[in-house]
Protein backbone atom coordinates (compact mmCIF):
# COMPACT_ATOMS: atom_id res chain seq x y z
CA UNK A 1 0.00 0.00 0.00
CA UNK A 2 1.35 3.42 -0.85
CA UNK A 3 1.85 6.22 1.65
CA UNK A 4 -0.94 8.21 -0.03
CA UNK A 5 -3.39 5.31 0.25
CA UNK A 6 -2.62 4.85 3.95
CA UNK A 7 -3.03 8.58 4.60
CA UNK A 8 -6.35 8.60 2.76
CA UNK A 9 -7.49 5.55 4.72
CA UNK A 10 -6.64 7.20 8.03
CA UNK A 11 -8.41 10.39 6.97
CA UNK A 12 -11.50 8.45 6.01
CA UNK A 13 -11.49 6.70 9.39
CA UNK A 14 -11.18 10.01 11.21
CA UNK A 15 -14.09 11.44 9.23
CA UNK A 16 -16.25 8.41 10.05
CA UNK A 17 -15.34 8.61 13.74
CA UNK A 18 -16.01 12.36 13.80
CA UNK A 19 -19.39 11.94 12.12
CA UNK A 20 -20.38 9.21 14.54
CA UNK A 21 -19.36 11.36 17.49
CA UNK A 22 -21.29 14.33 16.15
CA UNK A 23 -24.42 12.34 15.53
CA UNK A 24 -24.27 10.88 19.03
CA UNK A 25 -23.66 14.24 20.65
CA UNK A 26 -26.49 15.82 18.69
CA UNK A 27 -29.05 13.19 19.66
CA UNK A 28 -31.49 14.65 22.16
CA UNK A 29 -32.05 12.45 25.17
CA UNK A 30 -32.68 12.41 28.89
CA UNK A 31 -30.70 10.21 31.25
CA UNK A 32 -32.74 8.40 33.89
CA UNK A 33 -31.10 5.90 36.23
CA UNK A 34 -28.13 5.69 33.89
CA UNK A 35 -30.30 4.96 30.84
CA UNK A 36 -30.42 7.38 27.91
CA UNK A 37 -34.04 7.87 26.87
CA UNK A 38 -34.61 9.44 23.43
CA UNK A 39 -36.31 12.83 23.72
CA UNK A 40 -38.67 11.95 20.87
CA UNK A 41 -40.05 8.99 22.81
CA UNK A 42 -40.97 11.19 25.76
CA UNK A 43 -42.33 13.97 23.55
CA UNK A 44 -44.47 11.49 21.61
CA UNK A 45 -45.84 10.06 24.84
CA UNK A 46 -46.97 13.51 25.97
CA UNK A 47 -48.35 14.28 22.50
CA UNK A 48 -50.52 11.16 22.86
CA UNK A 49 -52.27 12.98 25.73
CA UNK A 50 -53.70 15.29 23.06
CA UNK A 51 -55.40 12.21 21.58
CA UNK A 52 -56.60 11.17 25.04
CA UNK A 53 -58.14 14.63 25.41
CA UNK A 54 -59.85 14.28 22.04
CA UNK A 55 -61.33 10.85 22.87
CA UNK A 56 -62.44 11.65 26.42
CA UNK A 57 -65.76 13.44 25.72
CA UNK A 58 -67.08 10.70 23.44
CA UNK A 59 -65.12 7.49 23.95
CA UNK A 60 -63.71 6.87 27.43
CA UNK A 61 -62.59 3.39 26.42
CA UNK A 62 -60.40 4.74 23.61
CA UNK A 63 -59.12 7.50 25.90
CA UNK A 64 -58.16 4.98 28.57
CA UNK A 65 -56.50 2.67 26.07
CA UNK A 66 -54.50 5.51 24.52
CA UNK A 67 -53.46 6.77 27.94
CA UNK A 68 -52.19 3.42 29.17
CA UNK A 69 -50.72 2.21 25.88
CA UNK A 70 -49.02 5.40 24.71
CA UNK A 71 -48.42 7.75 27.65
CA UNK A 72 -48.57 6.18 31.10
CA UNK A 73 -45.17 4.51 31.46
CA UNK A 74 -43.20 7.37 29.94
CA UNK A 75 -44.95 9.91 32.16
CA UNK A 76 -43.36 8.05 35.06
CA UNK A 77 -39.99 8.30 33.28
CA UNK A 78 -40.48 12.06 32.80
CA UNK A 79 -41.32 12.47 36.49
CA UNK A 80 -38.28 10.44 37.49
CA UNK A 81 -36.00 12.55 35.26
CA UNK A 82 -37.50 15.76 36.57
CA UNK A 83 -37.27 14.72 40.22
CA UNK A 84 -33.55 15.52 40.23
CA UNK A 85 -33.98 19.19 39.29
CA UNK A 86 -37.58 20.04 40.22
CA UNK A 87 -39.23 17.74 42.76
CA UNK A 88 -42.26 20.01 43.03
CA UNK A 89 -43.03 19.78 39.33
CA UNK A 90 -42.39 16.03 39.34
CA UNK A 91 -44.91 15.73 42.19
CA UNK A 92 -47.49 17.87 40.34
CA UNK A 93 -47.09 15.67 37.26
CA UNK A 94 -47.57 12.48 39.29
CA UNK A 95 -50.59 13.93 41.13
CA UNK A 96 -52.23 14.93 37.84
CA UNK A 97 -51.52 11.47 36.46
CA UNK A 98 -53.02 9.84 39.56
CA UNK A 99 -56.27 11.82 39.11
CA UNK A 100 -56.58 10.55 35.52
CA UNK A 101 -55.81 6.98 36.61
CA UNK A 102 -58.49 7.23 39.33
CA UNK A 103 -60.96 8.60 36.79
CA UNK A 104 -60.41 5.69 34.46
CA UNK A 105 -60.96 3.25 37.32
CA UNK A 106 -64.13 4.97 38.57
CA UNK A 107 -65.47 5.87 35.13
CA UNK A 108 -67.06 9.21 36.08
CA UNK A 109 -68.77 11.47 33.56
CA UNK A 110 -66.65 12.55 30.57
CA UNK A 111 -66.51 16.24 31.63
CA UNK A 112 -64.75 15.33 34.89
CA UNK A 113 -62.22 13.15 33.09
CA UNK A 114 -61.69 15.79 30.38
CA UNK A 115 -60.72 18.40 32.97
CA UNK A 116 -58.23 16.07 34.62
CA UNK A 117 -56.73 15.04 31.27
CA UNK A 118 -56.33 18.73 30.38
CA UNK A 119 -54.56 19.32 33.71
CA UNK A 120 -52.29 16.33 33.08
CA UNK A 121 -51.50 17.51 29.55
CA UNK A 122 -50.56 20.94 30.90
CA UNK A 123 -48.35 19.50 33.68
CA UNK A 124 -46.67 17.08 31.27
CA UNK A 125 -45.90 19.96 28.92
CA UNK A 126 -44.39 21.97 31.77
CA UNK A 127 -42.33 18.95 32.78
CA UNK A 128 -40.99 18.47 29.24
CA UNK A 129 -40.02 22.13 29.01
CA UNK A 130 -38.22 21.88 32.38
CA UNK A 131 -36.21 19.03 30.84
CA UNK A 132 -35.48 21.24 27.79
CA UNK A 133 -37.67 19.06 25.59
CA UNK A 134 -40.46 20.05 23.23
CA UNK A 135 -44.00 20.12 24.54
CA UNK A 136 -46.85 19.35 22.11
CA UNK A 137 -49.40 21.89 20.98
CA UNK A 138 -52.75 20.15 21.36
CA UNK A 139 -54.68 23.05 19.84
CA UNK A 140 -54.01 21.73 16.33
CA UNK A 141 -55.67 18.37 17.11
The pLDDT tens digits of the residues spanning 86-110 come to 999 999 999 999 999 999 999 778 8
pLDDT of 112 reads 86
pLDDT of 8 reads 38
User: 69-87 burial, b if ≥16 CB within 10 A, otherwise e?
Assistant: ebbbebbebbbebbbeebe
Question: With 70 as the cut, is the pLDDT of residue 39 above it?
Answer: yes
Domain coordinates in residue numbering, the chain: 29-140
Amino acid sequence: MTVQARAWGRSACLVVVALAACSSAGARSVTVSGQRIPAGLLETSVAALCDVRTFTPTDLRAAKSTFYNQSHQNLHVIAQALEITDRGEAARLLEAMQRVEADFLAQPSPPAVTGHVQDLTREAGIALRRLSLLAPDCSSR
